[in-house]
Structure 1
């Protein structure tokens, strides 16, 4: 087997010069727009505003924008806080085959470093594509066993962020390889702080972005790491999964397709493991025309994390609600969708939503579990008050590569999320510049001003 670190570093380095096709260009712009949409609500709610005040003295000097207050400072400071903000509302993108959210750590790091360096839009795009290429393929090599104990976006995201940073700093394949190796020693974030109580989960992604920037800057400065960091008997894969890495799966199609063109963009504001059940319920209602008052019980069968993470009746916070299949299913039936409005204090306090949760059960189905993570499916059985049992097998999720959000659907999602922090004119101008512009700093400056104004 070729050294996987060398293969990954070479693949990233190729993106420094290879042609960016119109398809990949458009996919990258969609990913950046989706990142902004996910990030903006976290600028006004959650742990990022708290950390912005707590870490003010460490802002440092530089050109990177921290969107929680619109101020500029060091790349690491901005990457940390923007990374936290972008994982707060649970709307960030997914690479399905790796069970990984690449955008939060990778774009948070790439944008901060690009702004600090005054890099071109082309250099920024290439760094994002390269960071996704490496992070998503490492995720495929580690899954599904890695996810039993580790939050893969917190861990692998560190390496994606490191690659983007190293590329923006002009590293060649050797330097990018050192950035990956260094980042593998910084990568952390365990499952208890994903599934348990507290506000730590968004900090996982901020830390991954920050630590990735540190790794990339270190490699660019000449610091080296072990070339066997990923696959050695005591390397990262062996330490965090049940093997030294499934690199055959990771490198399938390398050079023929790139992960940023195969993303899932979220259609619901909750954990992605809940999506198949929500989409299946929508399909059943469309086919049979019943309403929530007609329902006696809903039985959902899913894969491992559907049960282990999302079978959650204790909902005491918006974060709990986003990981409760029972709550999200009830919210869908009472509110019509599961977006920002489903997690407001008013929604969380509704007695009718809470009462309906008791009608929803969740179990693991082994046939569905065997297909995870490459397929995210659910089987629903809805028993109506008249005794009928309606069944549906949901084979995919809206937003996945085989059922993608259209541009119009993505723009509607972005507009809704951006409205939490920006006025409509500023939000629209940012959207247009991201989707059509070629000047990086001009595309983001209006958000810096508006973000600072709207927080007060």
Structure 2
């Protein structure tokens, strides 16, 4: 079988099998984290501009947009997918170098509202999207990530699969949805290597495009079933030496959704090991930023490529500045929403420490990427002493997971300013009971 057919067969089987309680629990965690990402993203550019641009598609249709207005399904997917990625606090699946939730859940929710899905049906759609798309991301490997933004490319397959599940596609329908999704998949890393608003749109467009691919398949539109593994297909065109032979291996048995990373800080996830290391040294040594003569950060190469701004001149650049987030962690003790307020970005003590911060690639840590995201932090104090900390994993990785309570706290911190404490708490309680709900929250 072609890769699309292998994946489609696995996706189809997921629609009828009993889902383990552990898997459903992890799916609920993913959905809660998605809502935690959605609400702070609603005010981050380009989401407000997107709302203005899509005005004709709002206040009609049967789907729900995070801004509290009805929308057509594709518009809801585009808006919610963009917002869920805009604040840089959404989940990731490490081995696929990919943020699966933003697009996958946005598409599942849009179709779920349109078709009046149950909570359990919605969770099944979410799981299907994660399980199919993460396997494509793993197969495409690091060569794909060198140029392409996986959240835009691989995310299209997550959305197509989750929407396909909600639309109750059969084997053939799933295969053609994936085939069409491959021709829609895009998102260049260069789009966010200078100050721009493009990056969140990759997730939103993936959600919209994947949903459309599933809708087209439902209505009989066919795609090239060899579009992933063909001579001029997705693998050869956008990666190197991709092995598709076992792409669906373990699908329905080994659930990737149980091994997600949930962000414990806000910003580019490639900086998080360095932030954790800086915070560990700060707490252990009870140091002040002004006592530090030099900060040395050694980590894997993509962290330097993507979190590339050495002197960020805007809030958006600060999110992708390894030197800024490490200096902020050492100066203020956290990297949360307040870290990206203009006054904080331009804080004199932070800016001064950035001048004393250097970043470099560590060959050993780079060789372990993407399965491990590590960083080594060295602090040279003004009295000449040196302190070194190797952060092997990030807080929030499967090895150091956020507890359910920590996830609840993250959600309430980020959702309450938008919804209000009472509504945020009420929604959280509904999300933990999704598998028991006859209809989805709106």
Runs of 5+ consecutive residues of structure 2 not aligned to the other structure: none
User: Within 2, Cα distance between the matches of 1:101 and 1:107?
Assistant: 11
Q: Note closer, same or farther for the CA distance 1:441–1:329 as it changes in structure 2 (3 Å cut).
A: farther
Contact 1:104 1:205 in 2 (8 A): yes
Answer yes or no: is the 8 Å Cα contact 2:309–2:321 preserved in 1.
yes
Structure 2: distance between partners of 1:399 and 1:42: 20
Partner SS state of residue 368, structure 2: coil
Aligned counterparts of 2:11 and 2:262: Cα–Cα separation in 1:
23
Provide the C-alpha distance between the structure 1 equivalents of 2:289 and 2:253, rounded to a whole number of angstroms. Answer: 46
- Is structure 2 residue 355 aligned with structure 1 residue 363? no
Contact 1:34–1:92 (CA under 8 A) maintained in structure 2? yes
Is residue 282–residue 330 contact of structure 2 (8 Å, CA) maintained in 1? no
The correspondence of residues 320-335 of structure 1 with structure 2, limited to 5 A, is 320-335=317-332
Aligned to 1:129: 127
1:292 and 2:292 are equivalent in the alignment:
no
- Give how far 1:383 is off: 0.7
Contact 2:76-2:110 within 8 A present in 1 as well: yes
Instruction: Name 1:186's counterpart in structure 2.
Output: 184
> 1:386 offset after TM fit, Å?
1.1
For 2:418, what is the secondary structure of its paired residue? Answer: coil
Aligned to 1:399: 396
1:248/1:318 CA distance change after superposition, 3 Å:
farther
Aligned-residue offset at 1:420: 3.1
1:285 positional shift: 3.0
Give the drift of 1:111: 0.2
**Which residue of 2 is the match for residue 46 of structure 1?**
45
- Greater CA deviation, 277-286 or 221-230? 277-286
> Does the CA contact (< 8 Å) of 2:304 and 2:359 recur in 1?
yes
Contact kept in structure 2, 1:63 and 1:75, CA below 8 Å: yes
Q: Residues of 2 paired with 1:252 and 1:443: CA distance?
A: 31
Aligned residues of 1:292 and 1:334 also touching (Cα < 8 A): yes
Match of 1:32 in 2: 31
Distance 1:98 1:382 in 2: 32
Q: How far apart in 2 are the matches of 1:216 and 1:247?
A: 22
Partner of residue 345 from structure 1, selected from 318, 322, 342: 342
How far has the Cα of 1:181 moved from its partner?
Answer: 0.5
Question: Any residues of structure 2 matched to 1:62-211 within 5 Å, and which?
Answer: 62-68=61-67, 70-211=68-209
Structure 2 CA distance for aligned equivalents of residues 273 and 440 of structure 1: 36
Gaps of 5+ in 1: 446-456
- Aligned partner of 2:274 in structure 1 is 277
Partner deviation per Cα, 1:196-234 (whole Å, 9 max, x = no partner): 221010011110000011100000111111111111111
Instruction: Say which SS state the counterpart of residue 421 (structure 1) adopts.
Output: helix
Aligned to 1:217: 215
How far apart in 2 are the matches of 1:29 and 1:41? 19
Which position in structure 2 is the counterpart of 1:237? 235
Q: Please give the per-residue CA displacement for 1:281-313, whole angstroms capped at 9, x wherever unaligned.
A: 222234433332221111111111122122322
Distance in 2 separating the partners of 1:80 and 1:396: 32
1-structure distance, mates of 2:290, 2:278: 14
Deviations 1:314-356 (A, max 9, x none): 3122221111011111111222110111111221232222221
Distance in 1, matches of 2:72 and 2:373, equals 39
Matches of 2:181 and 2:344, distance apart in 1: 40
Please state how far the C-alpha of 1:440 moved relative to its aligned partner.
5.7
Alignment of 1:377-456 (within 5 A): 377-438=374-435, 443-445=440-442
Q: 1:442 to 1:428 in 2, by over 3 A?
A: farther
TM-score (norm 2): 0.96
Distance in 1 (CA, whole Å) between partners of 2:32 and 2:166 is 20
Q: Does the CA contact (< 8 Å) of 2:3 and 2:245 recur in 1?
A: no
> Tell me, what secondary structure is at the counterpart of 1:300?
strand
1:60 CA drift (Å):
7.5
Q: Tell me if the contact between 1:115 and 1:441 (Cα under 8 Å) persists in the aligned partners.
A: no
Task: Quote the offset at 1:3 in angstroms.
Answer: 2.6
Displacement of 1:390 = 1.2
Q: Residue 312 in 1 paired to residue 304 in 2?
A: no
CA distance in 2 between counterparts of 1:39 and 1:60 reads: 19
Structure 1 range deviating more: 8-17 or 176-185: 8-17
CA distance in 1, matches of 2:342, 2:248: 45
**After superposition, what is the alpha-carbon deviation per residue over 1:363-387, rounded to whole angstroms, capped at 9, x for unaligned?**
1111111111111111222111111
- 1:449 is aligned to none
Whole-angstrom CA distance in 1 between matches of 2:7 and 2:144: 19
1:44–1:421 contact (8 Å) kept in structure 2: no
1:9 matches 2:4 = no
Taking a change above 3 Å as real, the CA distance of residues 415 and 260 of structure 1, as seen in their structure-2 partners, is same
Preserved CA contact (<8 Å) 2:58 2:69: no
Taking structure 1 as the reference length, the TM-score comes to 0.94
